[in-house]
């Protein structure tokens, strides 16, 4: 049976085919489309966007199912996120969901499955839908990235990847400490030997082109001198190391898998420090933030 696809050749301005784009306000109710639109034809090299999307949809309909092994993201991966940035609406999602599934979600699932098998971990894929209860008033219903993580039994840290308009990001660590983890982290950062050890590990990570992320305070916590030699560490409420592979043709190859392996391996020593000095939270789940 031939696969039916929906053309979005009329997508422009405030209409998509014969439907008006639906957006969600912060309460989850329907509202008017008020986000700024951009000229996608200009952004994507002059080819009119409707023609590009009709070609993508036709290609997805004619291609074989996505392979179980990761061979790269599909050709629409960057264009899809660029288009979403202009029209994060239910109409756009319905019209291009098959493209998202074939060129983004299925490769991401295959990639995480392979990486999890290598480290003996389990995969969690994040849903594409934004929780509108906590979103800003001008946010659309679809997240601007597709991501997932791998967890292993021997570490409280997570291995994370995501693909977005900015490219492919891989990282590892604890993005936000629970209360008991934060207490242990600060105690270790204050202690000279363990704190200096972490400083050295982060310098080494920077030399490996990893960036430090995670929640952080704007100033040092109460009771700590502003000129403390490890003030930067003590402001942290989480610790995550990662790096981004820029958008481009490399995303359609095995490069994202190699990138994730390199980033995760480069973070090994810092993660060992976190496991030794912070570890998993011992709070019952209802008591966590």
Give the pLDDT confidence score for residue 134 in this predicted structure. 80
Of 144, 10, 135, 26, residue with least CA distance to 86: 144
Q: Is the pLDDT of residue 22 over 80?
A: no
- Asked which of 55-59, 117-121, 122-126 is least confident by mean pLDDT, the reply is 55-59
Residue 9: pLDDT band by 50, 70, 90 thresholds? very low
Q: Is the pLDDT of residue 100 over 90?
A: yes
Q: Is the pLDDT of residue 1 over 90?
A: no
Residue 15: pLDDT band by 50, 70, 90 thresholds? very low
Taking residues 19-48, report their average pLDDT. 36
Taking residues 106-114, report their average pLDDT. 97
Of all residues in the chain, the percent with pLDDT exceeding 90 is 65
Tens-place pLDDT, residues 231-271: 999 999 999 999 999 999 999 999 999 999 999 999 999 99
Calpha distance 229→260 (Å, rounded): 32
Calpha distance 71→196 (Å, rounded): 41
Q: Is the pLDDT of residue 62 over 90?
A: no
Which residues, 6 or more positions from 261, have their beta carbon under 8 angstroms from its beta carbon?
A: 115, 118
Taking residues 6-29, report their average pLDDT. 30
Give the pLDDT confidence score for residue 241 in this predicted structure. 98
The 3-state DSSP class for residue 180 equals helix
Give the pLDDT confidence score for residue 36 in this predicted structure. 36
Calpha distance 250→187 (Å, rounded): 42
Give the pLDDT confidence score for residue 16 in this predicted structure. 34
Give the pLDDT confidence score for residue 91 in this predicted structure. 87
Task: Determine how many CB atoms are found less than 10 A away from the CB of residue 162.
Answer: 21
CB burial class (10 A; 0-12, 13-18, 19+) of residue 30? exposed
Q: Is the pLDDT of residue 53 over 50?
A: yes
Tens-place pLDDT, residues 263-278: 999 999 999 999 999 9
Q: Where are the domains of the chain?
A: 23-117, 154-287
Give the pLDDT confidence score for residue 61 in this predicted structure. 65
Give the pLDDT confidence score for residue 106 in this predicted structure. 95
Q: Is the pLDDT of residue 19 over 60?
A: no
The 3-state DSSP class for residue 283 equals coil
Mean pLDDT of the chain: 82
Partners of 83 in beta bridges: none
- Asked which of 16-30, 111-125, 156-170, 216-230 is least confident by mean pLDDT, the reply is 16-30
Q: Is the pLDDT of residue 153 over 90?
A: yes
More confident residue, 182 or 20: 182
């Amino acid at each position: 049976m031939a696969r039916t696809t929906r053309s979005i050749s009329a997508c422009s301005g405030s209409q998509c085919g014969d439907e008006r784009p639906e957006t969600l306000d912060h309460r989850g109710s329907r509202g008017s489309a008020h986000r700024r639109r951009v000229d996608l034809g200009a952004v994507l090299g002059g080819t009119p966007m409707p023609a590009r999307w009709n070609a993508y949809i036709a290609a997805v309909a004619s291609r074989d199912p996505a392979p179980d092994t990761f061979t790269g993201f599909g050709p629409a991966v960057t264009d899809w996120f660029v288009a979403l940035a202009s029209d994060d609406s239910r109409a756009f999602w319905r019209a291009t969901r098959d493209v998202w599934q074939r060129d983004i979600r299925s490769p991401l699932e295959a990639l995480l499955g392979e990486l999890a098998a290598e480290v003996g971990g389990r995969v969690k894929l994040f849903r594409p839908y934004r929780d509108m209860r906590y979103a800003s008033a001008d946010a659309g219903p679809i997240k601007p990235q597709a991501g997932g993580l791998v967890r292993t039994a021997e570490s409280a840290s997570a291995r994370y990847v995501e693909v977005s308009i900015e490219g492919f990001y891989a990282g590892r660590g604890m993005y936000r400490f629970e209360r008991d983890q934060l207490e242990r982290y600060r105690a270790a950062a204050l202690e000279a030997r363990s704190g200096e050890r972490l400083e050295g590990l982060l310098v080494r990570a920077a030399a490996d082109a990893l960036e430090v992320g995670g929640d952080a305070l704007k100033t040092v916590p109460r009771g700590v001198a502003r000129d403390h030699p490890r003030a930067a560490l003590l402001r942290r409420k989480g610790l995550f190391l990662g790096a981004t592979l820029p958008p481009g043709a490399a995303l359609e190859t095995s490069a994202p898998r190699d990138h994730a392996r390199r980033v995760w391996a480069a973070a090994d020593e810092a993660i060992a420090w976190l496991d030794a000095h912070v570890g998993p939270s011992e709070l019952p789940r209802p008591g966590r933030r």
